[in-house]
Amino acid sequence: MKFVRDLLWAPTIGLSWLWGLGFFYSIHVTLTYGWLGFFGFAIANVAGLWLFGYILGRTKRSPDQIIKDIEGRYAGVFLLFQMAALVVTIFGFVAYLWQPIVGEGSGVGVALLLLFACAIGHALTLQQLKLLHILYTAVGVTAGIVLYVGLAKTSTYPGVPLQSFDARFYGLIMPTLIGFLLGPWLDIQHWQRAVTIKREGGNVGRAYGLGALLFFSFLFLNALTASAVGPIGSILSIDGLPSAQGAVSAATVLAAESGQSYLAGAFVIWTVIALASTVDSFYCATSWFLKGKNLRSNSPLLALIPDNIASSPLWLLIGATWVSYAAVPANFSLMYFMMPFATLFVSASANLVCESLGAKARFDPVLSFLIGCGSSLIFIIGYIEPVPGFLIISPFIGLIGALPVIIELVGPRSKAIPVDIVDQPVRMMTSTPLMSAAGSEEISPSHGFDGEWFVMQLVPTYDDTNSVGNVYFANYVRWVGKARELFFNVCMPDFDLATTRFYILTRSFTHDYRRESKEFEQISVRIKIARHNRKFVTLSHEIHSGTQGLLGHGEQSLMFVDREHYNPLDIPGEVIKGFLAYWPKDSRLSPSYRPKTIEQSKRQA
């Protein structure tokens, strides 16, 4: 039963990854580079789709939690990726099917198809789209088979060679491999599917494995059709290079002139299904992403914009349509719209993969964009000339922006050095190391010392959050207070309110909020003695998230008063002794304090 449930996800997974890039490029690569060229393209594409589901199905965090953690940092690149995918789809559909078969000036028909697909994506849930895509798959594959059989019967083409490699092909090997292996990670459509499959109790890895196999069958069907017709109707793109994506369309036009117009109809049905399933998935997934992000956002501007407008993907569709219709008459090649997936987006994709596997968040969108632009320019130079070396290094240049997280993930790990408390035993909340739920990995104690810092670790839950899912602001203050009390308890274990001769009072408290945290993030509260004078002690604190880094920092000033009349006191001897190891090194109270000599003072002056 579980297998059947995962199997039902395969059609929507396969169709949502087909779009114009896979659909038309499978025709071009087969006719240009032969069967080995096709299998090299298809295997990398299929492997990337499967690995996305396999990895997300085995990460410690659920896909839902990952997307919540990364949505703020990656929102811009997610949306840019969706727009780029739409441009490839619309451009390929218009340039290689609609215009050759229907003719120029047919923009109204394409606009109606896009609006119809958006309406479906708006009206249906993902579960309903999943059922619709099962129907789409049955109809589309049937039309594709009819097309292939009909063209194969009338074709005199001897067949595609095993291989027809040139310098450009060898240069494209690494961009193809890296681009397709990383591609699905920035596609919101697949994040929505992974989240939903996991919530339903399904096996994400198995569902994506089945979807990847079905996706391969789509590509192979197109490659077979291309091999039946040959490179007829090839055109020279703006760069002067031949483009074979429109070969099947040209063949169906010739077949229609011979009285076999049903073949053109079959190809239109198969291609329209590929377009519609991409656009309705785009609309549904992008709207889902924007609604979730806006719901959890604290931006006051969003409160002034109606939800339906703020979460509408239509502006992306409008932008993609404008780019596509500007590129078609300019005779652009599809390759230049595919290029960003192997250059511009590589850094962000690699960062996201590493973060999903547990690396710390280090993604810098501006730096990644600049590096990606440089990588794209090198790719273009290498593709036109051609210069295989430029093509080969272009995706690796894109990976430079992800080097810190890659090194963290695969490089040597530094072992934590335990720090003992000088003159005082560390009292932990448990005498044995805590274990994870699986019992396989040791996690750090709940509190203790890291050098001069006292560190308290905790994991917030839903009880700590507000109505939009962020940790309630007052809880940060409460956590600092709790860390301070534990700090005092470790350093002054014999302090007793019933017998003490002095009280410790909070004179002032400040906290600078930097980032929001969410439930189930690993939180560390760090506190130390920053400075003091005779009567006041200032404590510094920092709050860190395991996924987002510094959440906030601040200070608090403490004073000491006598128990009877609350008169201010100098720092009591019990406090000096209890915190002896943790006074600042430049403090006269610190055991490591060394007074400056006259010569040192002169040199510094």
Q: Specify whether 212 is located in the same domain as 303.
A: yes
- Give pLDDT tens digits for 357-403: 988 888 999 999 999 999 999 999 999 988 999 999 999 999 999 99
Distance (Å, whole) CA 137 – CA 161? 29
Residue 434 in domain: no
Return the pLDDT at 120: 96
Q: How many domains does the chain have?
A: 2
Burial class (CB in 10 A: 0-12, 13-18, 19+), 601: exposed
Average pLDDT over residues 92-120: 86
Q: CB-based contacts of 253: which residues, under 8 Å, 6+ apart? A: 100, 101, 233, 264
Q: Provide the pLDDT confidence category of residue 322 given band limits of 50, 70 and 90.
A: very high
Q: What is the mean pLDDT of residues 89-98?
A: 90
What integer pLDDT is reported at residue 275 of this predicted model?
Answer: 93
Instruction: Give the Å distances, CA to CA, from 517 to 301, 469, 555.
Output: 21, 9, 20
Q: pLDDT tens digits for 264-306?
A: 999 999 999 999 999 999 999 999 998 877 665 555 455 556 6
Q: What is the pLDDT of residue 596?
A: 55
Contacts of residue 537, Cβ cutoff 8 Å, sequence gap at least 6: 529, 531, 557, 558, 571, 575
**Residue-wise pLDDT tens digits, 500-530:** 889 999 999 999 998 889 888 999 999 998 8
Helix (H) or strand (E) holding 537: strand 536-545
The verdict on residue 163 lying in a domain is yes
Residue among 548, 536, 531, 545 nearest 587 (CA): 531
Please give the pLDDT value at position 91: 92
- Do residues 401 and 277 both lie within one domain? yes
- Would you say residue 433 has pLDDT above 60? no
Identify the pLDDT of residue 318: 93
Question: Is 158 within a domain?
Answer: yes
* 46 pLDDT more than 90: yes
Query: Based on the domain organization, do 371 and 474 belong to the same domain?
Result: no
DSSP one-letter string for 107-170:
HHHHHHHHHHHHHHHHHS-HHHHHHHHHHHHHHHHHHHHHHHHHHHHH-------S----HHHH
Question: For residue 419, is it within any domain?
Answer: no
Residue 544 is inside which H or E element, if any? strand 536-545
Residue numbers of the domain that contains 488: 447-604
Task: For residue 429, tell me if it sits in a domain.
Answer: no
Average pLDDT of the residues in 417-446 = 41
Q: Is the confidence at residue 548, as pLDDT, over 80?
A: yes
Q: Is the pLDDT of residue 497 over 70?
A: yes
| Contact in structure between 125 and 59 (CB atoms under 8 Å) | no
Q: What's the pLDDT at 594? A: 62
Burial class (CB in 10 A: 0-12, 13-18, 19+), 73: buried
> Are 402 and 268 found together in one domain?
yes
The answer to the question of residue 214 being in a domain is: yes
Residue type for 485, please?
A: E
Q: Which residues contact 536 (CB under 8 A, 6 or more apart)?
A: 507, 557, 558, 559
pLDDT for 595 equals 63
- Cis, peptide link before residue 300, omega less than 30° from 0: no
Whether residues 401 and 453 fall in one domain: no
Point out the least confidently predicted range of 140-149, 226-235, 372-381, 444-453. 444-453
Going by pLDDT thresholds of 50, 70 and 90, the confidence category of residue 468 is confident
Q: In what order do the strands lie in the sheet with 523-532?
A: 447-450, 453-458, 523-532, 536-545, 549-562, 502-513
Radius of gyration over every alpha carbon of the chain, rounded to an integer in angstroms: 31
Which of 311, 250, 292 lies closest to 27, judged by CA? 250
One domain, residues 482 and 406: no
Residues 522 and 599 in one domain: yes
Do 114 and 91 form a contact (C-beta atoms < 8 A)?
Answer: no
Q: Is residue 440 part of a domain?
A: no
User: Is pLDDT of 499 > 70?
Assistant: yes
157 in the same domain as 67: yes
Contacts of 220 (CB under 8 A, 6+ apart): 42
Identify whether residues 564 and 519 lie together within a single domain: yes
Residues 19-33: what's their mean pLDDT? 88
Q: Which of 61-75, 138-152, 272-286 has the lowest mean pLDDT?
A: 61-75
**For 476-501, what is the mean pLDDT?**
89
* Confidence category of residue 590, pLDDT binned at 50, 70, 90: low
Q: Looking at the structure, tell me whether residues 271 and 201 fall in a common domain.
A: yes
Q: What is the pLDDT of residue 294?
A: 67
pLDDT at 571: 87
Kindly report the CATH number assigned to the domain that includes residue 571: 3.10.129.10
- The CATH number given to whatever domain includes residue 203 is 1.20.1730.10
- The yes-or-no verdict on residue 240 having pLDDT over 90 is no
Is 207 among the domain residues?
yes
Q: Are residues 396 and 460 in the same domain?
A: no
Helix, strand, coil percentages in the chain from 3-state DSSP, rounded to 5: 60, 10, 30
Residue 496 pLDDT > 90: no
Question: Which amino acid belongs to residue 26?
Answer: S
Residues 319 and 451 in one domain: no
Taking only the tens place, the pLDDT of each residue in 399-415 is 999 999 999 888 766 55
- The SS3 of residue 558 is strand
